[in-house]
Amino acid sequence: MVYSYKDILAELRREGYKITPQRRAIIQIMEATESHMTPLEIYSRTNSSSGISLVTIYRTLDTLEKAGLICQFNTQSGHTSYLLRRPRSHHHHLVCSVCGLVVNIGECGLEEVEERVSKDTGFKIVSHTLDMSGVCPECQKNNRQTLGRDFC
Amino acid sequence: MVYSYKDILAELRREGYKITPQRRAIIQIMEATESHMTPLEIYSRTNSSSGISLVTIYRTLDTLEKAGLICQFNTQSGHTSYLLRRPRSHHHHLVCSVCGLVVNIGECGLEEVEERVSKDTGFKIVSHTLDMSGVCPECQKNNRQTLGRDFC
DNA sequence: GTGCTTGCAAATGCTTTGCACGGCC
DNA sequence: GGCCGTGCAAAGCATTTGCAAGCAC
């Protein structure tokens, strides 16, 4: 598991990828952000300073994913986000359906659910995604209406 | 909660939408399918016979969602699928990372997890999504390699 | 120097929109 | 008959690809 910026570069090198200013910048931006980011969000943070192309961001994210350093996350709105892998990074998202605030949920305690499902279906369970949706304290206080609906 | 084709039409009417051959066809296709479907999948099942436009499928799905009769589901690959609402339709998906087979998981037993998260974050939890990924029995038998990786 | 990376431009694929015709109620 | 729904074509948007120039090693 990768711990820091330096480790990430080392891992990239180890996998045979070259270290370029663009890749450095993208990794640093992702490291400075707790939450997952879309390619466009990364682009908007990099744009003014270093003039990195959006195409490069797509390709770099692809590279980082191949190297196992980030992982993909499809948001409710259908866009693709990416998140840097960190130690103990197994976590899940809780999204406010009113204002869009995203916070992380820690341990999910789904091990016994996985075991039951595995027994029922014969699948070997490798991983899972869990996302919750609700109304954050701020929006509750302001009595804002939720846009949310039940999931299937 | 809606139970059958006839109920769906009645509900559509009740909401002020008109019943057209295209809408009938799309609803019937979705009713005949257990799993969620993308607009294109629906289109491919309807194309030859009735000559329904893909645009109409997008608009009909939008209408059905507004009427609360279907709900959206963003797949791992980033595409949008839709699923008809059925009684006891709270369920989750288990996807084989090798062959793409999708099966449903029944009850998830996440109530106590939701409660804990709610206490920790102050959110009022409205709903959640849970999807698992693994290797199905068939692919295990054939010793096929998983493409899967851990999630974040 | 070699080969991977980048940036530009253009292509692609899914989804949405404008507009006129047609069909449901 | 009024108005919503449909189909066509075209636009919109995120993402991917081809290709020549540039840079890391």
Q: Give the C-alpha separation, B148 to B134, whole Å.
A: 8
Q: Give the C-alpha separation, B145 to B69, whole Å.
A: 38
Domain boundary among A37, A57, A86: A86
Residue B71 to residue A146, Cβ atoms within 8 A? no
Domain boundary among A61, A86, A111: A86
From chain B, pick out residues whose CB is under 8 angstroms from the CB of A114: 132
Label residue B130 exposed, middle or buried (CB < 10 Å: 0-12, 13-18, 19+).
buried
Q: Could you tell me if A24 and A56 lie in one domain?
A: yes
Identify the band that residue A127 occupies on the pLDDT scale cut at 50, 70 and 90: confident
First to last CA, chain B: 35
Label residue A49 exposed, middle or buried (CB < 10 Å: 0-12, 13-18, 19+).
exposed
Q: Could you tell me if A23 and A94 lie in one domain?
A: no
Per-residue pLDDT at B113: 78
Mean pLDDT of the region B100-112 = 70
Closest residue on chain B to A79 (Cα): B78
Q: Which nucleotides of D are covered by protein (CB under 7 A)?
A: 4-10, 14-18, 23-25
Identify the band that residue B148 occupies on the pLDDT scale cut at 50, 70 and 90: very low
Q: Give the C-alpha separation, B8 to B30, whole Å.
A: 11
- In this complex, which residue's CA is closest to the C1' atom of nucleotide D13? A79
From chain B, pick out residues whose CB is under 8 angstroms from the CB of A129: 129-133, 151
Count of pairs with CB atoms under 8 A, one residue in A, one in B: 160
- The distance (Å) linking the CA of B54 with the C1' of D24 is 48
Indicate the pTM of the whole model: 0.67
Q: Give the C-alpha separation, B88 to A152, whole Å.
A: 9
Per-residue pLDDT at A148: 39
**Does residue A75 belong to the interface with chain B, where contact is any CB pair within 8 Å?**
yes
**Does residue A19 belong to the interface with chain B, where contact is any CB pair within 8 Å?**
no
CATH number at residue B135: 3.30.1490.190
Q: Give the C-alpha separation, A126 to B102, whole Å.
A: 14
Domain hosting residue A118, numbered range: 90-152
Q: pLDDT of B39-93, one tens digit each?
A: 999 999 886 667 899 999 999 999 999 998 988 877 666 788 888 876 545 667 7
Q: Could you tell me if B44 and B13 lie in one domain?
A: yes
Q: Could you tell me if B3 and B72 lie in one domain?
A: yes
Q: Could you tell me if A7 and A75 lie in one domain?
A: yes
CB of B132 closer than 8 Å to CB of B95: yes
Structure tokens at B92: 């989750």
Q: pLDDT of A52-107, one tens digit each?
A: 999 999 999 999 999 989 888 776 667 888 888 775 456 677 766 666 566 777 66
Structural domains in chain B (count)? 2
Identify the band that residue B149 occupies on the pLDDT scale cut at 50, 70 and 90: very low
Please name the nucleotide lying closest to A79, CA to C1': D14
Q: Give the C-alpha separation, B86 to B26, whole Å.
A: 16
Q: Which residue has the tokens 């608009």?
A: B59
